[in-house]
Amino acid sequence: MLREAIMALIPHRGASCLLERVIGWDAVAIRCTAVSHLDPANPLRAGGRLGIVAGVEYGLQAAALHGALRGGGVAQRAGYLAALRDVRFDAARLDDPAHGALCIEARLLGQSAGGFLYALALHASSGAWLLRGQATVAMPA
Residue 93 has pLDDT above 90, yes or no: yes
User: How does residue 55 score in pLDDT terms, banded at 50, 70 and 90?
Assistant: very high
Share of the chain above pLDDT 90, in %: 95
Whole-number mean pLDDT of the chain?
A: 96
**Helix residue spans in the chain (DSSP H):** 3-7, 55-70
Burial of 59 (0-12, 13-18, 19+ CB in 10 A): buried
Rounded distance, CA 69 to CA 84, Å? 23
For residue 77, the model assigns a pLDDT of 87
Total structural domains in the chain?
A: 1
Q: Please classify residue 86 by burial: count the beta carbons closer than 10 Å to its beta carbon, then call 0-12 exposed, 13-18 middle and 19+ buried.
A: exposed
CATH of residue 30:
3.10.129.10
Q: Is 138 helix (H, G, I), strand (E, B) or coil?
A: strand
Q: What pLDDT band is residue 50 in, cutting at 50, 70 and 90? A: very high
Query: Which residue spans within the chain are E strands per DSSP?
Result: 21-25, 29-34, 80-89, 102-112, 115-123, 129-138
Given a cut of 90, whether residue 141 has pLDDT beyond it is: no
Angle at 59 between CA 109 and CA 73, to 5 degrees: 75
Q: What is the domain range of residue 121?
A: 3-138
SS3 call for 29? strand
For residue 106, how far is the Cα from the chain centroid? 7
pLDDT, one tens digit per residue, over 107-138 is 999 999 899 999 999 999 999 999 999 999 99
65 pLDDT higher than 90: yes
| pLDDT at residue number 71 | 93
Q: Tell me: pLDDT of 48 over 90.
A: yes
CB atoms within 10 A of CB 111: 14
For residue 130, the model assigns a pLDDT of 98
How do residues 17-35 score in pLDDT, each as one tens digit? 999 999 999 999 999 999 9
pTM for this structure?
A: 0.97
